[in-house]
Amino acid sequence: MTMKKKINDSKKSKYIFVTLCIGCCALVVLSLASDMSVGPLKYVSGYVITPIQKGMNEVGNWISDKGIYLQNNVDYAARCQELQEKVDQLTAENTELLADREEKERLEKQLELSAQYDYDKVGARVIARDSDNWFNVFTIDKGSNDGIEVNNNVISNGGLVGIITDVGPNYAIVRSIIDDYSNVSAMVTTTEDTCIIAGDLRLIDEGKVNLVKLTDSRDKVTVGDKVVTSDISSRFLPGILIGYISEISMDSNNLTKSGYITPAVDFRHLREVLVIKEQKAVSGAESSLKKAVSKETEGLVNDSTEDSTETAAPEEATTADNGQ
């Protein structure tokens, strides 16, 4: 009953409101249509209609103001969106410019540190690598279109990185000296004694690379000595810094020494490299001499390691036998 009563009261209120609205409208029409300046209609019009008109004007003004306010908000929101897009664009452009500037600065530093190597070089960015954290094999963004060829030496921050093993028009593959299949013929600068720098990924976490077959007959090689590529290497240009001796000890044969070097290159954070476009030229006499030397030192080489190296990666690997 209560609910039904409320519904009936609501309907009555609506009817009354509609009736009043119709009456007001009728009075407004009559007031506008009549020329009477006096009389009951004028009095009723002034007493009833004028307040209604005033209220309607206020409502109209409020609606108009609200419309202007809403339109201003819409315009403001659109302007904010436009400005935000502009800010995003400028931020992206600024980030790109900063990245380009940082890359340019790094390459300039690379060239400065590598100025000691008087060779024609081309800068390249590292664009891909193996799934592990180390740059033992990686791809750069320069290739044959830039004059890069297989066996070009690769350096970074003045130190030897590795060698080009494959080339495409706009990319090249680099095998670094820390790779398991890499062997580099090297020399200790203080004594000019030769050795082999053998890659081993198990060691690089400790920040070192194998040094083997060091012929230190005068026992003068010490920790801290600089190791560079040797003159007898068939693929690596001479005198490129490889690293510094960190440990050294006599081998069981009492003829050679082994140990470790700390590489000059940070193989965890390679971003840009320099590719030396000049290659090592090996004459027939030099090649014959290397073969003769390798035969004399054949007994000092671990045959199983050498065979494994040559079989796994004959085009990249360099053994003591061939003077790499």
SS3 call for 219:
coil
Q: Amino acid letter at 174?
A: V
161: pLDDT strictly greater than 80: yes
Which pLDDT value is given to residue 27? 58
303: pLDDT strictly greater than 60: no
Query: Is 209 exposed, middle or buried (CB count within 10 Å of its CB: 0-12, 13-18, 19+)?
Result: buried
Segment 68-107, tens digit of pLDDT: 777 777 777 787 888 788 788 778 777 777 766 766 776 6
Length of the chain: 324
Least confident of 109-118, 149-158, 168-177, 180-189: 109-118
For the chain, give the mean pLDDT: 76
Q: Amino acid letter at 132?
A: D
- Average pLDDT in the 300-315 region? 36
Question: Contact, 240 vs 263, CB < 8 A?
Answer: no
- Average pLDDT in the 122-146 region? 88
> CA-to-CA distance for 10 and 58, rounded, in angstroms?
27
208: pLDDT strictly greater than 90: yes
5: pLDDT strictly greater than 90: no
Q: Report which of residues 103 and 124 the model is more confident about.
A: 124
Which pLDDT value is given to residue 54? 66
38: pLDDT strictly greater than 80: no
> CA-to-CA distance for 232 and 212, rounded, in angstroms?
16
- Average pLDDT in the 141-167 region? 95
| Structure tokens, 323 | 């003077």
Listed residue (239, 278, 282) closest to 152, CA to CA: 278
Q: For domain 121-279+301-312, which CATH number applies: 1.25.40.340, 3.40.190.10, 3.40.250.10, 2.40.10.340?
A: 2.40.10.340
Strands (DSSP E) contained in the chain are 121-129, 137-140, 153-156, 159-167, 172-176, 183-188, 194-198, 209-214, 226-229, 241-250, 257-263, 272-276
Q: Report which of residues 224 and 17 the model is more confident about.
A: 224
Which pLDDT value is given to residue 253? 92
Which pLDDT value is given to residue 269? 86
> CA-to-CA distance for 141 and 121, rounded, in angstroms?
14
Which pLDDT value is given to residue 14? 60
Which pLDDT value is given to residue 318? 39
Which pLDDT value is given to residue 87? 81
| Structure tokens, 49 | 């209609």
Least confident of 29-43, 103-117, 258-272, 303-317: 303-317
Segment 165-178, tens digit of pLDDT: 999 999 999 999 99
pLDDT interval class at 242 (50, 70, 90): very high
Which pLDDT value is given to residue 225? 96
Which pLDDT value is given to residue 116? 77
Give Cα 171 distance to the centre of its chain: 17
Q: Report which of residues 87 and 185 the model is more confident about.
A: 185
Tokens 């290497």: give the residue.
233
